[in-house]
Amino acid sequence: MRIKSLFTTMDISAQGLSVQRTKMNVIAENIANAETTKTENGDPYRRNIVQQQAGSKERKFIDYYKPNTINMTETKNVHMPDQKFRYLDEDKTIGVYVSDIIKDPSAFKMIYDPSHPDANEQGYLAMPNVNIVQEMVDMISASRSYEANVTALNSSKDMIRNALKI
């Protein structure tokens, strides 16, 4: 077993931490802009959503599961080149990353406030589509996920430390 293998475990947990931190940042931005009625393009603020995806941006999942791959040798020049024959199907992904941060397409909340400078002719004001309760729930969820990843990271660290005691 290569020692790199245990450190990739910590890599995975670190990726999880990074994703949850990104989520927290985006949620903080949403809450901070919950009352912003005018942005650069003239519209009210639109809520941001983090899309996370299993897998790895830079490295292919195959890098992590070397024991399950077969190296083929070419003995004749008519043979096809080594394509790293894989047993694994594409479902078994390793790692997690933020694939995209998208804008929530749902409609703005309209409230009646004729005195507001951004109100339309009928006196209605478009408020951002941020739901504070929703954001709070998402924040707690992200924070708990972060804690779970920290626990996993500590567990891996303890394992490496144990291995180094031999």
Partner 1 sequence: MFKKNLHIIAILIKKTMAQSLQSYRDSIFGGELMITDLLFDRTACPDLEKSMDVYSLRQKTLANNIANAMTPGYKAQKVEFEEEYRKSLNKNKIKGDLTDDKHISLGRKPINKVYPQVVLREDPINDTGLNNVDIDREMAEMAENSLRYEMSTKLILKRFNNIKSAIRGR
Which residues are near partner 1 by CB under 8 A? 1, 5-6, 8-10, 12-13, 15-16, 19, 52-54, 64-65, 67-68, 88, 91-96, 141-142, 145, 148-149, 151-153, 155-156, 158-159, 162-163, 165-166
Least distance in angstroms from the C-beta of 138 to partner 1 = 10
Nearer to partner 1, 120 or 154 (CB): 154
Rounded-to-integer distance, Cα 45 and Cα 126, Å: 10
Nearer to partner 1, 36 or 52 (CB): 52
- The full 3-state SS of the chain, as one line of letters, equals CCHHHHHHHHHHHHHHHHHHHHHHHHHHHHHHCCCCCCCCCCCCCCCEEEEEEECCCCCCHHHCCHHHEECCCCCCCCCCCCCCEECCCCCCCCCEEEEEEEECCCCCEEEECCCCCCCCCCCEEEECCCCHHHHHHHHHHHHHHHHHHHHHHHHHHHHHHHHHHC
Least distance in angstroms from the C-beta of 14 to partner 1 = 9
Least distance in angstroms from the C-beta of 141 to partner 1 = 7
Nearer to partner 1, 96 or 125 (CB): 96
Nearer to partner 1, 106 or 154 (CB): 154
Nearer to partner 1, 87 or 112 (CB): 87
Least distance in angstroms from the C-beta of 72 to partner 1 = 17
